[in-house]
Amino acid sequence: MSAKPPSTRSDAVRNRKLLLDVAARTFAERGVEVSIGEIAQRAGVGKGTVFRHFPTKEDLLAAIMLDLLDELIGAATGLLADDDPVRALRAFMTAGVEAFVRDRAFCDVIGRPSLQSQEVRDAIHRLCEVAEGLTARAREQGAVRPDVTGTDVALMLSGIQHTAAPLLDADPQAWRRYLELTFDGMTAVTGRPLPHPPGRLTLEENPS
């Protein structure tokens, strides 16, 4: 009852698609702060249309984030078929960091649980699971330390982006340096286990 199914009228479908595209691009460039007004303008539709398709700004944002997450999950799932686990894991992390680098809103949302709808939290959880699939294969083969989890890997994508963030204006590829460094940390053979148990993301609304 809360999630009214998207209309199937052809113009509405088209508009919904258009809005998602434009909003995605706009949020990506400028973060979650962009106003609905600007998105509507860029899309060439009225603000009312945005709100018809997405009852609140949060809903619109969530839809876009879900798309992004699904894409990433899809890519990761595909990589499970790669017969070189390390290459697959690296490809996944590369794609993941790139997604963050490209999208300021994605960074905002992942970094601020208060911006996450239940659906987004669920998708993040699924992402962690595929990541775990990829990680497990590399782990089993001894290519990454035994105590690195899929959640670790997923979380580090955002961390790598943020490490590089202050450099990205001047050098859009700066993240590659930190991805490599992180990768080396994951694969390092230290003999010492990581000093803190791995995390699990909270699936429920945080009542803070």
Partner DNA sequence: AATGAATGAGGATTCATTCAT
Partner DNA sequence: GATGAATGAATCCTCATTCAT
Which residues contact DNA (rule: CB under 7 A)?
7, 9-12, 15, 33-38, 44-49, 51-53, 55-58
Q: Between 11 and 169, name the residue whose CB sits nearer to a second copy.
A: 169
Q: Between 20 and 194, name the residue whose CB sits nearer to a second copy.
A: 194
Residue 151 phi/psi, 5-degree rounding, is -60, -40
Distance CA 201, CA 85 (A): 24
The answer to whether 61 contacts a second copy (rule: CB under 8 A) is no
- 3-state helix, strand, coil split of the chain in percent (to 5) is 70, 0, 30
The answer to whether 48 contacts a second copy (rule: CB under 8 A) is no
CB of residue 192 to a second copy, shortest distance in Å: 8
CB of residue 17 to a second copy, shortest distance in Å: 22
The answer to whether 164 contacts a second copy (rule: CB under 8 A) is yes
Q: Which does 202 bind (CB under 5 to 8 A by kind): a second copy, DNA, none?
A: a second copy
Residue where the block lists tokens 């659906």 = 119
Answer for which of 111, 117, 118, 123 binds a second copy (CB under 8 A) is 111
CB of residue 27 to DNA, shortest distance in Å: 11
Three-class SS string for 7-52? Answer: CCCHHHHHHHHHHHHHHHHHHHHHCCCCCHHHHHHHHCCCHHHHHH
Distance CA 57, CA 2 (A): 16
Q: Between 53 and 139, name the residue whose CB sits nearer to DNA.
A: 53
Distance CA 132, CA 89 (A): 10
Select from 43-51, 85-93, 134-142, 162-170 the region that touches a second copy (CB under 8 A): 162-170
